[in-house]
Amino acid sequence: MEGKEMWYAHLRSVLGTEADRYEIVSVAESGASGPRVVILRDISSGKMYALKYGETRVPIFQQVRNCQTMVSLFGERYIPEIFISGEKVMLMEAISGQTFHEAVIKSLYDLPSLVEAYKKILEKFGEVWKKTAEPFSSTVSLARQPIPRAERVREAVFRRVFDGQNLREIAGNKVVINEVETGYSLDFLLELMTDRYSSPNYTTLCHGDPNMDNIIIDSDMDWWLIDFEWVGRHDWRIPASHFVGWWLSNASFLKEASRIKVGNDTICIKYQIGQSELVSALLAEAWKFMENMGNFFKEKQFEQQIKLQLAILLLGDLRFLEARNRSQYAIPLLGEGLRLLTEIVSLS
């Protein structure tokens, strides 16, 4: 196994000779944050553990504190136990189960059970958001800064190449989506991600990255949260958008080959995507949840703002398609993100 001795060395640096109690089962691929996660088995007991070690975007000692915050909000039942932690290392319980994404994509359980479990997950998040809600204040630091985040996504989109053209070089071209002329240039639409943003009525303290790879579920439909880098206070609409955006970005399928054609003054995007019956049911629950939360927080222009965050999420996911083996979805993601931005104009 590549890097096996390196990870044993990391383990020994923390546990000393106690490291010999474990064998390495697997090493997860590097994520956006940098380090790998190593799954270990206790040789004598057979118990499984997850070791996270190294330089991370958010220091591991802070992630440990974030985990403790999640325990106080969600309860011990929903958070894996941490056994050892240090400045750059964390050894925690490895949950027996699958990510919620894997359970859905592979149809590991029946549709009613997964939909009911998803509803309970959404209900728990809603409960925590309501409990931790505070009126928005510009003096409060947010874990994800909305405007800088949108600016990073815009720059990442401009760096993409389609039909042999760098998008920055054709930013003035008008966008045509599935043969419908939007009347807007690419540059104009991408500027909306910052220009049309408005602050929420409330912020919440919560897990900031509730994507479906960060939720583990087992055959009893019990579930746990993992990955605590983005725990903090948030514009709640950003994590809320993950509950819809994840399925659109990572669980849609192509109905036909996607195409993009750059003309003298146009960018013509052609694509057709669909979702399975299960994913469609999950999307319906997610939309219902977001609308209920928008009503609870009495958000103005809620539809405009949630579609804005969805567009940013989908366009931002262009950066991760190769790592997720979904490169063929680049055109649909671009098209869906831009389509949502055109709808924002009509909602203004």
Higher confidence at residue 86 or residue 175?
175
Residue 151 carries which side chain, given as an amino acid letter?
E
Give yes or no: residues 30 and 120 share one domain: no
- Please report, for the chain, how many H helices and E strands are present, in that order: 10, 19
CA 146 to chain centre: 15
Give yes or no: residues 223 and 276 share one domain: yes
Mean pLDDT of the chain: 93
CA–CA distance, 320 with 105 (Å, rounded to integer): 18
Give yes or no: residues 153 and 186 share one domain: yes
The pair of three-digit structure tokens given for residue 66, joined into one six-digit string: 């974030």
Give yes or no: residues 169 and 300 share one domain: yes
Mean pLDDT of 176-183: 97
Give yes or no: residues 265 and 201 share one domain: yes
Angle at alpha carbon of residue 164, lines to 160 and 167, rounded to 5°: 35
Q: Which residues contact 92 (CB under 8 A, 6 or more apart)?
A: 49, 50, 52, 67, 80, 81, 82, 83
For residue 79, what is the DSSP state?
S
Residue 13 carries which side chain, given as an amino acid letter?
S
Domain extent for 149: 100-347
Give yes or no: residues 86 and 157 share one domain: no
Distances (CA, A) of 237 to 63, 83, 242, 245: 22, 33, 9, 12
Give yes or no: residues 87 and 221 share one domain: no
Give yes or no: residues 140 and 8 share one domain: no
pLDDT range class, residue 137, cuts 50, 70, 90: very high
The pair of three-digit structure tokens given for residue 156, joined into one six-digit string: 């990442």
User: Which of residues 94, 129, 160 is at a domain's end?
Assistant: 94
What pLDDT is stored for residue 13 in this prediction?
A: 76
Q: Is 267 helix (H, G, I), strand (E, B) or coil?
A: strand
Residue 110 carries which side chain, given as an amino acid letter?
D
Number of domains forming the structure of the chain? 2
CA–CA distance, 89 with 119 (Å, rounded to integer): 34
CA–CA distance, 241 with 312 (Å, rounded to integer): 9
Query: pLDDT at residue 60 above 90?
Result: no
Query: pLDDT at residue 253 above 50?
Result: yes
For residue 319, what is the DSSP state?
G
Give yes or no: residues 13 and 148 share one domain: no
Query: pLDDT at residue 29 above 60?
Result: no
Give yes or no: residues 242 and 332 share one domain: yes
What pLDDT is stored for residue 179 in this prediction?
A: 97
What pLDDT is stored for residue 3 in this prediction?
A: 63
Mean pLDDT of 223-252: 96
pLDDT range class, residue 11, cuts 50, 70, 90: confident
Higher confidence at residue 139 or residue 10?
139
The total of other beta-carbon atoms located within 10 Å of residue 30's CB is: 12
Model pLDDT for residues 256-312, shown as the tens digit of each residue: 999 999 999 999 999 999 999 999 999 999 999 999 999 999 998 999 999 999 999
Query: pLDDT at residue 128 above 50?
Result: yes
What pLDDT is stored for residue 1 in this prediction?
A: 45
Query: pLDDT at residue 35 above 80?
Result: no
Model pLDDT for residues 301-340, shown as the tens digit of each residue: 999 999 999 999 999 999 999 988 999 999 999 999 999 9
Residue 197 carries which side chain, given as an amino acid letter?
Y
Query: pLDDT at residue 84 above 90?
Result: no
What pLDDT is stored for residue 87 in this prediction?
A: 78
Give yes or no: residues 249 and 147 share one domain: yes
Give yes or no: residues 134 and 73 share one domain: no
CA–CA distance, 70 with 231 (Å, rounded to integer): 8
What pLDDT is stored for residue 15 in this prediction?
A: 76
Q: Nearest Cα to 22, choosing from 36, 5, 9, 41?
A: 41
pLDDT range class, residue 149, cuts 50, 70, 90: very high
Distances (CA, A) of 308 to 146, 212, 237, 318: 11, 21, 10, 16
The total of other beta-carbon atoms located within 10 Å of residue 320's CB is: 13
User: Which of residues 94, 117, 135 is at a domain's end?
Assistant: 94
Model pLDDT for residues 110-121, shown as the tens digit of each residue: 999 999 999 999
CA–CA distance, 332 with 311 (Å, rounded to integer): 12
Q: What is the CA radius of gyration of the chain?
A: 21
What pLDDT is stored for residue 90 in this prediction?
A: 86
Higher confidence at residue 25 or residue 297?
297
pLDDT range class, residue 93, cuts 50, 70, 90: very high
Query: pLDDT at residue 5 above 80?
Result: no
